[in-house]
Amino acid sequence: MHIRIAALFLSFIFIISGFQCEQEGKPVTEIKDTPAVKPKVEIPSVCIYDITPVKMEPAQKGRWISSLELGEKVIWLNEEKADVNDSNKKYLKIRLSDGKEGWVPENTLAIDSRPAVVIRKCAIYLRPDLVTITNKEYAPMEFVAVSKLENEWCEAKGREGEKRGWIKSETISLKDNDIAVALMADKAFKETSKDKKKEKLEAIISNPLCADALFIDTLKYQLSKIPPWDDEEEPLMEGLDDSEEY
């Protein structure tokens, strides 16, 4: 009995020894660190310049893809690169609402922001505190990009970033049709031709998508103030006789 146990024990030792020798003859597999995959970050942003070119490459001489309108919403893909010809100019990679992707100068976007429009004259503050009021203000129908909407305050950045600071949230509208009407009206008011100005205002007012916008009544009033004659023409005053005294 003891002899059998001893024989089994020796057989087990030989098997273990053989397995160890076989493993020692094999090359050691190196364990490589797998690089961490960067999570995709997509940040809603707003164009604060009008007619901003979107390029295929991050360079001023890059191929043109499209252009952004003032107030247009885009997604920043959390990528930035310096212009190959000017390291001081940085470009941001964006995705447009139609799915196209391209690069725009970093100063043309308000990052992590939403488009808005001012609905009544409001003061600009340095911080969300009434005692930090400045002598700057936004006018009604003025476009702003807003962020950090915290209770009764939000941080605002105006066209081309010229005016920025904190304003009261109650002084803005975030509705798409209010913003669109204000931006279209701004272009209409800049027309030097009365006919073109009138045509554009009438197009806004008659657009059913703009019917419930806040500023429609204001535009109707402005349209009524446009005289029916050109600057070079004198109005015809019917029913008056120059020789008649009053």
What is the tens place of the pLDDT at every residue in 14-51?
A: 555 554 555 555 555 565 666 566 677 899 999 999 99
Q: What CA–CA distance (Å, rounded) separates 181 from 177?
A: 6
* Residue with more model confidence, 229 or 144: 144
pLDDT digits (tens, 9 = 90+) for 93-142: 999 999 999 999 999 999 999 999 999 999 999 999 999 999 999 999 99
pLDDT, average across residues 46-58:
96
Q: What CA–CA distance (Å, rounded) separates 154 from 159?
A: 16
**3-state class (DSSP) for residue 82:** strand
How sure is the predictor about 84, in pLDDT bands with cuts at 50, 70 and 90? confident
pLDDT digits (tens, 9 = 90+) for 59-81: 999 999 999 999 999 999 999 99
Domain count, the chain: 3
Residues 75 and 96 in one domain: yes
> Is 66 domain-assigned?
yes
Residues 126 and 165 in one domain: yes
Residue 1 has pLDDT above 60, yes or no: no
pLDDT, average across residues 160-168:
95
> Is 22 domain-assigned?
no
Residues 56 and 88 in one domain: yes
How sure is the predictor about 151, in pLDDT bands with cuts at 50, 70 and 90? confident
Residue 115: CA count within 13 A, CB half-sphere? 25
Q: What CA–CA distance (Å, rounded) separates 174 from 155?
A: 13
pLDDT digits (tens, 9 = 90+) for 206-215: 999 999 999 9
125: containing domain: 114-173
Chain centroid to Cα 22, Å, comes to 64
Residue 43 near residue 78, CB atoms below 8 Å: yes
The whole-number pLDDT of residue 76 equals 98
Return the percent helix, strand and coil in the chain, to nearest 5.
Answer: 30, 30, 35
Residues 131 and 166 in one domain: yes
> Is 5 domain-assigned?
no
- Across 101-222, where does the E strand assignment appear? 101-105, 109-111, 114-118, 122-125, 133-138, 143-150, 153-158, 164-168, 172-173
How sure is the predictor about 196, in pLDDT bands with cuts at 50, 70 and 90? very high
